[in-house]
Amino acid sequence: MTAYARALVVDDLASSREWLERALTLAFPGIAVDTTATVADALTYVDPPPPLALVDLGLPDGSGLRVIEELARRGTTMAIVATVFDDDAHLFPALRAGAQGYVLKDQPPEALAAMLQGIAAGQPPL
């Protein structure tokens, strides 16, 4: 399994950022996590790109897809969508943008941590 030293969490809700950060620290002990709430702020974290990013789709200044596209363009980040949207209308555009995983925000941090470990180990990312 890949261990990540650094990650970026992009979500406009403080409670969601805390939940995602908790899951990351459970999945990858010692990981350094940067958090931000907007597309504009997230784009300041892409140079150098983080090895791992959890990105919400609905952000106050645009779509998280823009962040995922920028990370995919740089080619080194495992970008995973973390969202409440459980439908193909959101899933397929996220995958086309370069997301390598898609998880729903309806589970405890321990379950998400297990999913993140699985994705890092090469298990299906959905």
In terms of residue numbers, what domain contains 30? 6-120
Q: Which CA distances in Å does 110 have to 14, 22, 30, 59?
A: 18, 8, 16, 25
Q: Mean pLDDT over all residues of the chain? A: 93
Quote the number of domains for the chain: 1
Residue 62 lies inside a defined structural domain of this protein: yes
Type of residue numbered 115: M
Residue 125 lies inside a defined structural domain of this protein: no
Edge-to-edge order in the sheet of strand 78-83: 32-36, 6-10, 52-55, 78-83, 101-104
Q: Is 26 helix (H, G, I), strand (E, B) or coil?
A: helix
CATH label of the domain that carries residue 88: 3.40.50.2300
Q: Model's pTM, two decimal places?
A: 0.94
Residue 112 lies inside a defined structural domain of this protein: yes
**Res. 1: pLDDT tops 60:** no
Q: How many CB atoms lie within 10 A of CB 97?
A: 21
Residue 40 lies inside a defined structural domain of this protein: yes
Site of tokens 């596209």:
69
Tell me: the pLDDT tens digits for 81-107? 999 988 899 999 999 999 988 999 889
- Gap between the Cα atoms of 76 and 85, Å rounded: 26
Least confident of 6-15, 30-39, 114-123: 114-123
Comparing CA positions, the residue from 53, 85, 76 lying closest to residue 66 is 53
**Res. 55: pLDDT tops 80:** yes
